[in-house]
Structure 1
Amino acid sequence: MAKLVWFRHDLRTLDNPMLSYASHSGQPIYGCYLITTKQWQRQNHSPLRNQYVLNRLCALRQELHDCHIPLIVKSCDDYDHSIDELKALCLKLNIDEVLIGAEYGLWERQRDEKIRTELASQSIQLSSFTSQLLIAPGELVTGKGLPYRVFTPFSKAWKAQLALHDHPPLSAPNQAPININIDEGLDNEELARLADGESRWPVAQQQVLNHLSHFIKNKVSDYQQSRDFPNEPATSRLSAALAHGVFSSAQALYLLKQSYPNQYLDPKSGPGCWLNELIWREFYIQLLAQFDAISQGLTFKSETRAIKWDNNPQALSAWQQGKTGIPIVDAGMRQLNEIGWMHNRVRMICASFLSKNLWLDWREGEKYFMSKLIDGHLASNNGGWQWSASTGTDAAPYFRVFNPVSQSQKFDPKGDYIRRWVSELASLSPAQIHEPSDEVRQKLNYPLAIVNLKQSRKQAIERFAAQTKSD
């Protein structure tokens, strides 16, 4: 008999609870990954995200090979077909237990329950572990035994629980070589061909961990002061690796605590501020696990489901292409379109502009972001969009509408971020670049603003109040 580790959002050998458990069983360990191309399309995964995963699989295969664990990569259409593929693989390899890191979307949970039933019919056990989070959903509840719906009390409870999770990250397993021929499915050449190019972002586990260590030791101390300035290299740029589990929250927390034992819990410090971002991620994943409305595309706040958003394909297209005539919004959208990533402050500005100034359904923005982001993750992307649209948990009050001009003046004071991504405006001075005159726009072939910021803000507040007050 043998153990099979089915990799999903936990593409690492270090601090991997499934591999650690399997290594203590004394049985041979195999790894597998199931590429579900049509499922990726249905869930709107970006080409860059898919490319990252495929390149990561090549690196993971070598890292597992160093542990004498073969990685079998198979391609199947969707979740339903993955059930048959996994069952056939288990029977072929004489597997008695499949080990998975829990996934929390509704469709993923339903898939795993189907697989559990199918495997049980063959006397094969499916065992689930917490690999995406430090603290599992349901472990933290309010005094009434309910899931937390607001971030601040969740954050306090999360930090209070850390003592129970205070241990070094798990080491990589190392088993004796398996001396039988294994069909590893798609080889690295086939994976590279499917990827159609190398990822711009590091995919090797050690590269990512070196990056994490460098950020924590050299940059995180200034994170609180610098993180909102999109032209500064102040953020970690680790979101893609974290989204796909190339490193874990526990590894990040361990390094943070080792380096800043007296600061890492203080949200006013750089280390504590960065930890708060990790907690936001954990919060949104907890919500995804416990509220099916998120997977179903519904607003978290039921009273906001009556809102009637405008249907304006021209405005949506202008926003998508970065041609709104609002420089900071256009810079952000062009950055997203070109590299599949956008600075978090600018994500909020672009999201607020779409949902509040253009009064377009936030789900259109959520969908577009997922179609482009290399770090696209349902929980975090949905949570950020619903926060911006004031339809989600712990949402910004509906009357809080970002002013993109004042935001760019504050966080891109010299206009360097705008210059980098909106080439038409590169010659403008800091005084002109945030809100060019009509004459300057015409001269530089840059569009007029597609909406009046002051009027649209006022209208959004009125519409939001009117369409939700009956509830």
Structure 2
Amino acid sequence: MKALFWFRRDLRLYGNEALIEAVQSGARDALFFVSKKQWEIHDAAPIQIDMALRRVAELGKMLAQYGISLHVIEAPLFSDQITSLCSLVEQHKFKQVYANAEYEINERARDKSIAHALESGGVGFRLFDGDVIAKPGSIRTGSGEMFKVFTPFKNAWLKANFDFHAIYNVWPLSENPINWATPDTLMSDGTSAKWPIDDQTLRMITEAFIDEKLVTYKEKRDFPAIKGTSGLSPYLALGIVSVKQLLGAIQSKFPDILQQTGRPEFCWINELVWREFYRHLIVEWPHLCKHRNFNNKYDYVSWRDDDESFRLWCEGKTGYPLVDAAMRQLNQTGWMHNRLRMVVASFLTKHLLIDWRWGEHYFMRHLIDGDLASNNGGWQWAASTGCDAQPYFRIFNPITQSEKFDPKGDFIRKYIPELQAVPDKYIHFPHDYLALMKDIDYPKPIVDHKAARERALLAFKVE
């Protein structure tokens, strides 16, 4: 049977059940759409787009070794994808199209239209759930509803996956390699060059994390000056590695990790479950994809339309060193430490009382690991408007966060070089010291912590 595999945010060969099923069913053709206009509409960061194009070029070369031809087609919008796919199917007489499901509202609507168009012509369209361990909708309360709080969801998720072990299907090798030339549409501008995209290097990175960092992840993950995190989030966001692959690799070293949740190694698994939680949420409540508050009680919060304060936050010029260093890390590298994402989000929404959607948009436009479900979930958690959000009266103090998680100011000094000479005693809020040092140019705080906290508490008391 002539079949076609369609790559989306699943840019991998191994651990890609949908692709393997397609190849075993006779597929010798694969497809990727370059949809720059649609990506722009969805706020995809240029650095993430560049990484995706580099990876697709790598995939094309790998697939050619197995006799599989990758078609790279420019389709500016989702509507163009539908038209182009139907034309390609008709041209090559494909009888089946395989792909991995995408869970955002526009992507699901596109797939519904494609399924109807293909099936009306006698062509099958089969979607796999390759981006999650538990299929959205499969983890429910006893009354059949979706969980609205993370911990009960996690407990149910663990119960449902108690015996889960990733199974690696054998890749169907071919003895007939073909020639494949990288098309101009996949040319990289180099912005993501510091992130390797070849499988050999990624395997080394993954193994090093599991063998060396996983056991200390829980104690080191909150310190941005330490490389204590996995660094795998960009690869998960683009499906270059799969969540099942990662969990399976961890299980090979810690076979009972899903049953021993008290182990320090489980702390990182917990982050994967958060990732699943946010995906299940956007399927259950599609309005989250439209940037609406999950908790409509807070629809009446009077956000401040303060363009100047927002600009200073974006540029890392708030006068709070940890906040500023975090924003400069994002602007310079396209990535931000997870603890700092919470700190800067809390600062924007609570200290500055600026709508979380402004920050959500800015993050997506700059993050190499941008992901709608997780980004939306994280921002609404910080703003106290979301599902399982922190209570509105919990407001991160950027000074104490700095003292706790960057005690010597190493991270601050890395991204705010003008504060290099400031002693550790003053580095977390250096303004008294700077008043005596006229030659150091660092902005004064744009808001007083105590006053901003009181303003936020008043604004959120809407019940």
Residues 1:265 and 1:210: Cα distance change in structure 2 (over 3 Å): farther
Instruction: Single out whichever of 119-128 and 351-360 deviates more from structure 2.
Output: 119-128
Deviation string, structure 1 residues 315-345 (Cα, Å, up to 9, x no partner): 0000000000000000000000000000000
**Equivalent residue for 2:349?**
355
Retained in 2: the 8 A contact 1:228–1:411?
yes
Alpha-carbon shift at residue 260 of structure 1 (Å): 1.9
Among 291, 303, 306, which residue is 1:309 paired with?
A: 303
**Equivalent residue for 1:14?**
14
Deviation string, structure 1 residues 229-284 (Cα, Å, up to 9, x no partner): 00001000110001111111111111111212345544443310000001100110
Among 344, 359, 369, which residue is 2:338 paired with?
A: 344
Alpha-carbon shift at residue 189 of structure 1 (Å): 5.2
CA RMSD across the alignment:
1.7
- Give the AA of the match of 2:299: R
Taking every aligned residue pair, what percent have the same amino acid on both sides? 38
Alpha-carbon shift at residue 424 of structure 1 (Å): 0.9
**Equivalent residue for 2:45?**
46
Separation (CA, whole Å) in 2 of partners of 1:259 and 1:42:
42
Alpha-carbon shift at residue 162 of structure 1 (Å): 1.6
- Tell me the secondary structure at the aligned position of residue 293 of structure 1: helix
Alpha-carbon shift at residue 29 of structure 1 (Å): 2.6
Residues 1:163 and 1:262: Cα distance change in structure 2 (over 3 Å): closer
Alpha-carbon shift at residue 138 of structure 1 (Å): 1.0
- Tell me the secondary structure at the aligned position of residue 149 of structure 1: coil
Q: Confirm or deny that 1:142 pairs with 2:136.
A: no
Aligned counterparts, 1:68-79, within 5 A: 68-79=67-78
Retained in 2: the 8 A contact 1:399–1:461?
yes
Retained in 1: the 8 A contact 2:47–2:191?
no
Separation (CA, whole Å) in 2 of partners of 1:197 and 1:372:
12
- Give the AA of the match of 1:162: N
Residues 1:287 and 1:101: Cα distance change in structure 2 (over 3 Å): same
Residues 1:206 and 1:288: Cα distance change in structure 2 (over 3 Å): farther
Instruction: Single out whichever of 39-48 and 169-178 deviates more from structure 2.
Output: 169-178
Deviation string, structure 1 residues 70-118 (Cα, Å, up to 9, x no partner): 1111111110011011111111221111111010000000011111111
Aligned counterparts, 1:205-216, within 5 A: 205-216=199-210
- Give the AA of the match of 1:95: F
Among 446, 452, 469, which residue is 2:448 paired with?
A: 452
Aligned counterparts, 1:270-419, within 5 A: 270-419=264-413
Alpha-carbon shift at residue 13 of structure 1 (Å): 0.6
Separation (CA, whole Å) in 2 of partners of 1:290 and 1:241:
25
- Tell me the secondary structure at the aligned position of residue 111 of structure 2: helix
Separation (CA, whole Å) in 2 of partners of 1:169 and 1:198:
29
Alpha-carbon shift at residue 172 of structure 1 (Å): 2.6
Deviation string, structure 1 residues 141-184 (Cα, Å, up to 9, x no partner): 111101112110111111112245324233333245388x9xx7
**Equivalent residue for 1:427?**
421
Residues 1:231 and 1:196: Cα distance change in structure 2 (over 3 Å): closer
Retained in 2: the 8 A contact 1:54–1:195?
no
- Give the AA of the match of 1:240: P
Residues 1:280 and 1:340: Cα distance change in structure 2 (over 3 Å): same
Deviation string, structure 1 residues 376-419 (Cα, Å, up to 9, x no partner): 00001001000000001001000000001000100000000000
Residues 1:81 and 1:225: Cα distance change in structure 2 (over 3 Å): same
Retained in 2: the 8 A contact 1:99–1:128?
yes
Retained in 2: the 8 A contact 1:13–1:173?
no
Separation (CA, whole Å) in 1 of partners of 2:177 and 2:110:
30
Q: TM-score, normalised by structure 2?
A: 0.96
Alpha-carbon shift at residue 296 of structure 1 (Å): 1.1
Gaps of 5+ in 2: none
Gaps of 5+ in 1: none
- Give the AA of the match of 1:259: K
- Give the AA of the match of 1:373: L
Retained in 1: the 8 A contact 2:162–2:259?
no
- Tell me the secondary structure at the aligned position of residue 13 of structure 1: coil
- Tell me the secondary structure at the aligned position of residue 165 of structure 1: coil
Residues 1:137 and 1:332: Cα distance change in structure 2 (over 3 Å): same
Q: Confirm or deny that 1:126 pairs with 2:125.
A: yes
Residues 1:113 and 1:389: Cα distance change in structure 2 (over 3 Å): same
Residues 1:267 and 1:354: Cα distance change in structure 2 (over 3 Å): farther
Q: Confirm or deny that 1:463 pairs with 2:459.
A: yes
Aligned counterparts, 1:67-106, within 5 A: 67-106=66-105
Separation (CA, whole Å) in 2 of partners of 1:266 and 1:415:
35
Separation (CA, whole Å) in 1 of partners of 2:420 and 2:127:
52
Separation (CA, whole Å) in 1 of partners of 2:393 and 2:262:
26
